[in-house]
Structure 1
């Protein structure tokens, strides 16, 4: 039907171009039914309003890419109990460095990668990254000494650094602000599910020890790398670049998506400028969310790298420990999705983030305080569930919060990349805070984790209050003064514009 293929003639492209200030303004001017119908058509699958949806075209590629990227980088923890440390003569200190060097390059290339993303088509850029990190994963299974393993981890960080910030940015380009967290959570929960996948893969590959003269830890790198390399070329065809070159959207739908996407303000036609990086650096919101990211990622990495070891300390064999990680990560994936769905439903980020921080804090504190005796094995195993439920559940909300509240594609790209840089730097710390000599209590590891999670909780509440106060202030501004601002002036002001409202 015609009304399902295009916007009403009264809603012309010229008119839509001036509607980038807020979704509320769009609804007020053109009616909730007309706008809602178009939003559902391009953003919500399974509602019978269109055969082809944005979710159908965009999300499968991002989901699978994030899964294999997390599996490839996380394989080291499984290889550690399958013999890599023995075969390559790696002691505890060297292993910690091996885990950390990946993060050195991975952390500091987020911003350059998002800059490149403004110059190169996303499908090409991500396909190249995927192919390269797949090759490096294969080579990781062929290294013969510690130096070779270090080199492989360094270059794996270089190759993988660009994908996640690109995925977050791409999601914010395609979806309205209050629909972002659910989408980010869908592919991000693959990070927690990857723990289940790597555990199952490692359990199966453990029985390949000696095949073709290769140890089982080598096979896990090789097989996972082959999957990645095989998938990489298909990204060019299956990952859409932007609404403007998508054949399955009408011209009016493309323009509508451009103007009510997650920026909440900011024309997609404005060229990228270096000043966007400076704008991100001087925005206190970016630094506050970045510190929340530290409170999430530091304990996340410390937990993921130490979990197999903690499980063996509970009395499980190395193979059993791999299986016991599966339900822990599977439950955290489900709760991450539930948290995101509720957050998008209520249009708020802070409540979900704070609840998740509280859950993680309880899990960390319980695991630290419980006696390390056989009588408390089941209680300690139960506490291990709470930690990833909290840290994995909080992070999609933080990533969505930063993209929701930075207007303009350029600043949004740089802000999300800066937040990820801060979080990833903390990951390097997280991999080194659970010290082998402090087992089984790990006071340093749990102490750092509890401190950063607590700080994240406080910052989330403080930012919630700050944004609510600023929204109230803008509501009370003199409407005559606001109406004197031209669309160009509002565009240049970005999220400082009096018409912009922050997501709380």
Structure 2
């Protein structure tokens, strides 16, 4: 059903269409003379499904391989990597940290050049290169060799997650975005489950080619990444204009809907690089509040990704069973994540989903600290992994929704993921060497505090955005758009923040 939105009404669903040109959310406030959007046409709504079928599986595979190749070192550790390379717990933490440093350095430059280079070229190139780095981990003979591979793995993977979030914002209106981000981020939870299953099978190759089982984990998974990276050059389109699977009418419909919600990629004037827009992103309060939450959730996600097999093993399971028992919590996270994303897109409640996820982690870590039964401790992984992983797409979409135009949005997304990986650095030391098994008490208490702070800061950001929307509604009710200074981006009174 078509609705006409009042000026002070926020977007309620992805099918809500504004038809008054003065009510357009022109995110850049640059091309206010853009063509009027096409009228809502139910016949053309199938376009979104067509994009989903052609784009989301490819994007999901990119992130699946990214997370698999970064976190499979946890499975390799349980399979004997640390013992064979004679690494201490401290040296293992250093190996994880070496991945994050170039990863963080690469995130912002990669996002800023993504549109200029073309996502259809940059993303497959990065995928292929990190696949080579992953494969080489399987042939290293020393700790120093492993460090070199982990460095280049982080360097080439750094631009992937922020780049994929930015890339999808070229295709989907704001209120359609989280479900799609969740669809590809859910591949992280699938990779957590799949990595355990793969490792369970691959370690039986121990001795094949005179290589240990943990080496084959890297070799087989890395070679698949290289092959997929090379093939993806053929079927990853850059923008809707370049999509061979859309006809001219469908392309125009997509661009029309993007204009309606202030999405990125609408005009050269709005999207060209500008250091001014980079600086503006650093001045947005919502960017920094979300950056803090990203830091906390990054610690949760990467801590559980890298150490779940070790945690399960510390509860008394054998190495093989630890690989297998790490699967169910990640599978649970996948289903809950998709449900949460549907609710978030349908009702526009990014902030509440983030707070709910933080509460799941609070309960999970609290029970883990106090329970004596190994079975109960294992059960808390379902709460912790689900909460940590379900929060990530909500936070990613929340950040992408509330910064515009393109360069400001690209910078804001990169800031969020830089903070995510900073949290990853911290947790590799907490769980790697500063907090010994089986209880991991110091790390568990720290992550419990982080989960509580996630809820608090998410609530603060939600209140800030709500109060800004109220102020913007007053401005829209008392002035006309022609009186507003151009170039305000998300600060425009005609740009309503997503809550």
Q: TM-score, normalised by structure 1?
A: 0.88
2:40 alignment partner, SS class: helix
Matched, 1:185 2:182: yes
Mapped to 1, the partners of 2:476 and 2:220 lie a distance apart of 63
Mapped to 2, the partners of 1:341 and 1:36 lie a distance apart of 23
1:298 maps to which residue? 299
**Alignment match of 2:46 (pick from 41, 47, 68):** 41
2:446 maps to which residue? 448
1:60 maps to which residue? 57
Alpha-carbon shift at residue 287 of structure 1 (Å): 0.7
Alpha-carbon shift at residue 31 of structure 1 (Å): 10
2:11 maps to which residue? none
Aligned pairs for 1:282-293 (under 5 A) are 282-293=283-294
> 1:259·1:265 contact (CA, 8 Å) conserved in 2?
no
1:25 maps to which residue? none
> 1:435·1:442 contact (CA, 8 Å) conserved in 2?
no
2:243 maps to which residue? 246
Matched, 1:124 2:121: yes
Mapped to 1, the partners of 2:94 and 2:22 lie a distance apart of 51
Aligned pairs for 1:108-119 (under 5 A) are 108-119=105-116
1:156 maps to which residue? 153
1:238 alignment partner, SS class: coil
Alpha-carbon shift at residue 57 of structure 1 (Å): 1.7
Mapped to 2, the partners of 1:31 and 1:228 lie a distance apart of 40
Deviates most, 458-467 or 240-249: 240-249
2:267 maps to which residue? 268
Alpha-carbon shift at residue 265 of structure 1 (Å): 5.5
Matched, 1:457 2:455: yes
Q: TM-score, normalised by structure 2?
A: 0.89
Aligned pairs for 1:100-499 (under 5 A) are 100-261=97-258, 264=262, 267-270=266-269, 271-371=272-372, 376-436=373-433, 438-477=436-475, 479=477, 481-485=479-483, 489-490=485-486, 492-499=487-494
Matched, 1:503 2:487: no
Distance change in 2, residues 1:274/1:450 (3 Å): same
Mapped to 2, the partners of 1:135 and 1:484 lie a distance apart of 54
> 1:165·1:417 contact (CA, 8 Å) conserved in 2?
yes
**Alignment match of 2:77 (pick from 65, 77, 80):** 80
Mapped to 1, the partners of 2:141 and 2:469 lie a distance apart of 59
Mapped to 1, the partners of 2:471 and 2:113 lie a distance apart of 37
2:382 alignment partner, SS class: helix
> 2:174·2:263 contact (CA, 8 Å) conserved in 1?
no
Instruction: Give the total of aligned pairs.
Output: 469
> 1:19·1:259 contact (CA, 8 Å) conserved in 2?
no
1:112 alignment partner, SS class: helix
Mapped to 2, the partners of 1:62 and 1:231 lie a distance apart of 12
1:158 alignment partner, SS class: helix
Mapped to 2, the partners of 1:204 and 1:389 lie a distance apart of 25
> 1:357·1:394 contact (CA, 8 Å) conserved in 2?
yes
> 2:171·2:258 contact (CA, 8 Å) conserved in 1?
yes
2:139 alignment partner, SS class: coil
Mapped to 2, the partners of 1:152 and 1:332 lie a distance apart of 30
Mapped to 2, the partners of 1:353 and 1:178 lie a distance apart of 16
Uncovered stretches (5+) of structure 1, i.e. residues with no partner: 1-14, 23-28, 46-52
> 2:25·2:495 contact (CA, 8 Å) conserved in 1?
no
| Cα distance per residue 1:451-480 (max 9 Å; x no partner) | 221111111111111111111222122645
Alpha-carbon shift at residue 186 of structure 1 (Å): 0.6
Alpha-carbon shift at residue 435 of structure 1 (Å): 4.8
Q: Identify the structure with bigger relative contact order (alpha carbons < 8 Å, sequence gap 6+).
A: 2
Distance change in 2, residues 1:312/1:480 (3 Å): closer
> 1:258·1:268 contact (CA, 8 Å) conserved in 2?
no
Q: RMSD over aligned Cα, in angstroms?
A: 2.3
Mapped to 1, the partners of 2:143 and 2:448 lie a distance apart of 33
Mapped to 1, the partners of 2:478 and 2:316 lie a distance apart of 71
Uncovered stretches (5+) of structure 2, i.e. residues with no partner: 1-19, 28-34
